[in-house]
């Protein structure tokens, strides 16, 4: 199971009994949601930016990837994920729960694999 760590905003993968408590974002899907592929692309971009790899790119390529990152971060779906993380770690004690992880179906399920049908089937068993 993939969960987003609310402190690092990085996706973490857990198996079996390792799965920690987490908050589920129940929401309606809009046209600007962030997919698993989008989220992983942004994680990779951030790592490459921190390592200086983006700075070494040719100017046009650098401009394209920076623009793509800005575009993804401007989506309502990206803002929604970060807002849930903020609510979950509210320092005034009014947070949703004492957990460090959130699960957002739009980006924690890889819809380009069998995970989508498996997730739907597991929801039915609840």
Domain map (residue ranges) of the chain? 2-125
- Kindly report the pTM of this predicted structure: 0.81
* The predicted structure's pLDDT at residue 25: 87
- Mean per-residue pLDDT of the chain: 86
d(CA 105, CA 29): 10
Nearest to 70 by CA among 88, 53, 45, 93: 45
d(CA 104, CA 93): 22
To which residue do tokens 């089937």 refer? 121
* The predicted structure's pLDDT at residue 114: 64
DSSP 17: G
List, for residues 59-97, the tens digit of each pLDDT value: 999 999 999 999 999 999 999 999 999 888 776 655 555
Tell me the average pLDDT across 11-25. Answer: 92
Specify the higher pLDDT residue, 111 or 94.
111
């Amino acid at each position: 199971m993939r969960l987003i760590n609310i402190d690092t905003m990085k996706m973490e993968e857990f198996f079996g009994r390792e799965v920690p408590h987490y908050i589920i974002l129940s929401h309606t899907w809009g046209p600007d949601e962030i997919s698993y592929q989008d989220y992983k692309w942004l994680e990779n971009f951030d790592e490459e930016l921190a390592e200086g790899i983006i700075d070494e790119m040719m100017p046009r390529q650098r401009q394209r990837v920076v623009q793509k990152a800005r575009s993804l971060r401007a989506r309502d779906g990206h803002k929604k994920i970060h807002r849930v993380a903020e609510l979950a770690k509210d320092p005034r004690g009014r947070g949703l729960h004492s957990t460090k992880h959130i699960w957002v179906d739009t980006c924690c399920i890889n819809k380009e694999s069998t995970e989508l049908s498996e997730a739907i089937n597991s929801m039915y068993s609840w």
